[in-house]
């Protein structure tokens, strides 16, 4: 009671309530002999706090290294179902430090905003990538609905495919929404600004707005989205040390997750809810690049053979309710629903084995990094060490 906890005696029991939340029951004890209420409590504060920190880190990783403030908003405003409470945690994410650039932001401006879906579509092409994807693509193109900020991504081998991809995108979104694209905003690249593209827009009644040469800021929505997608994709690849050839899978997953994360441009709902009217769920989300085990159907194996095959989780299927898995045995991408995940494990491509990992760098270690550079190098040497400034943080050397 000195700590502010409340004791309530009723009948043959004693109930203890939290000192801050008086409705939160801590313990209930039955009366024993001699009208005594024996109770044995163990202090679990540090353990509980550490567990919540671990959970917050996990969801930061599951949502593509999205910032903690955004995750808190996602939970507080109930913009996603099945998402637990998220708290800001001490320390820094190594993958975020390696994958996210820090440049001056594009000016937000006060440009006209759409009042309904498909009134304005922003688009931009990113590439060429130095490393082609597994499908031999070197470019991707984004389409962003201004009203909902819902984003679609398509992959291309050449920029010349833009016109074909746009017609495919137009057919999809107009059928889904029952509306027509009114305005398309792009840069003045030849892939957009050509007679075939302009003639099609004119025939379809689409106003094609283009930016002034060498002024990408005029297409700021697309430029910002491109940057955000690339930062998220880089962080996901860095965390699990995945080969650069998986960049397309990382970009695809980044767009999938950003459509389910809050944005300042849309109030109190995620882009996918603003577009479809359906609130997204967090129940199926897992850490990109994790080791997973795919169930092999009985029809495809003998009785004494293993029931699972090892793979790497590479995102979500939008065509069916399943996960996209890179099968380490066949070297092929498959889609499966029957998957078990080991989210703290990753594949060592050099030694071809599974290994554990740590993604968190203690905050105090970062602050003192410049002053104690040489000492820090020695502290982080070896296999597994406990950092003296943060006993809860375990660091694992990855040689």
Q: What is the pLDDT of residue 213?
A: 62
Q: What is the pLDDT of residue 319?
A: 83
| Vertex 43: Cα angle to 40 and 47 (nearest 5) | 135
Give the domain extent around 24: 6-35
165, 246: one domain: yes
107 lies in some domain = no
191 lies in some domain = yes
Please give the tally of structural domains in the chain: 5
336, 231: one domain: no
Q: What is the pLDDT of residue 369?
A: 53
Does residue 381 have a pLDDT over 80? no
157, 210: one domain: yes
CA distance 324 to 311: 10
109 lies in some domain = no
342 lies in some domain = yes
Give the model confidence (pLDDT) of 254-279 as tens digits.
Answer: 999 999 999 999 999 999 999 999 99
Give the model confidence (pLDDT) of 285-296 as tens digits.
Answer: 999 999 999 998
240, 377: one domain: no
283 lies in some domain = no
241, 175: one domain: yes
Does residue 363 have a pLDDT over 60? no
In DSSP notation, 188-234 reads --TTTSSHHHHHHHHHTT-EEEEPPTT-GGGGHHHHHHHHHHHHHHH
CA distance 3 to 16: 12
pTM of this prediction? 0.75
Phi, psi of 38 (to 5 degrees): -70, 135
Q: Are 65 and 235 in contact (CB under 8 A)?
A: yes
Give the model confidence (pLDDT) of 6-39 as tens digits.
Answer: 887 777 778 877 665 555 666 777 777 777 777 6
Q: Which of these three, 276, 305, 326, is where a domain ends?
A: 276
């Amino acid at each position: 009671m000195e700590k502010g906890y409340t004791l309530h005696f009723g009948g043959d029991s004693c109930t203890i309530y939290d000192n801050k939340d008086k409705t939160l029951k801590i313990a209930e004890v039955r009366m024993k002999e001699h009208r005594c209420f024996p109770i044995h409590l163990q202090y679990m504060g540090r353990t509980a706090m550490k567990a919540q920190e671990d959970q917050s880190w996990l969801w930061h990783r599951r949502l593509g290294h999205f910032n903690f403030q955004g995750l808190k908003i996602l939970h507080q405003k109930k913009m996603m179902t099945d998402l637990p409470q998220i708290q800001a945690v001490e320390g820094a994410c190594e993958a975020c430090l390696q994958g996210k650039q820090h440049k001056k932001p594009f000016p937000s401006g006060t440009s006209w905003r759409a009042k309904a879906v498909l009134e304005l579509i922003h688009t931009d092409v990113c590439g060429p990538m130095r490393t082609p994807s597994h499908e031999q693509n070197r470019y991707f193109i984004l389409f962003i609905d201004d009203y909902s900020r819902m984003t679609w991504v398509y992959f291309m081998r050449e920029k010349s495919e833009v016109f074909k991809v746009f017609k495919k995108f137009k057919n999809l979104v107009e059928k889904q929404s029952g509306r027509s694209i009114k305005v398309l905003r792009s840069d003045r690249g030849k892939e957009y600004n050509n007679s075939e593209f302009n003639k099609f827009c004119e025939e379809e009644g689409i106003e094609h707005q283009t930016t002034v040469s060498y002024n990408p800021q005029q297409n700021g929505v697309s430029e910002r989205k491109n940057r955000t997608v690339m930062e998220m994709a880089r962080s996901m690849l860095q965390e699990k040390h995945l080969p650069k050839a998986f960049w397309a899978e990382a970009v695809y997953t980044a767009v999938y997750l950003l459509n389910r994360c809050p944005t300042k441009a849309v109030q109190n709902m995620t882009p996918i809810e603003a577009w479809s009217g359906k609130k997204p769920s967090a129940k199926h989300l897992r850490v990109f690049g994790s080791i997973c085990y795919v169930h092999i159907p009985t029809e495809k194996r003998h009785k004494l053979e293993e029931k699972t095959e090892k793979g790497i989780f590479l995102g979500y299927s939008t065509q069916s309710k399943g996960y996209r898995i890179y099968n380490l045995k066949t070297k092929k991408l498959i889609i499966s629903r029957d998957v078990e995940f080991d989210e703290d494990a990753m594949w060592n491509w050099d030694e071809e084995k599974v290994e554990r990992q740590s993604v968190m760098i203690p905050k105090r270690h970062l602050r003192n990094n410049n002053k104690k550079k040489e000492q820090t190098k020695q502290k982080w040497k070896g296999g597994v060490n406990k950092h003296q400034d943060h006993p809860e943080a375990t660091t694992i050397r990855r040689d």
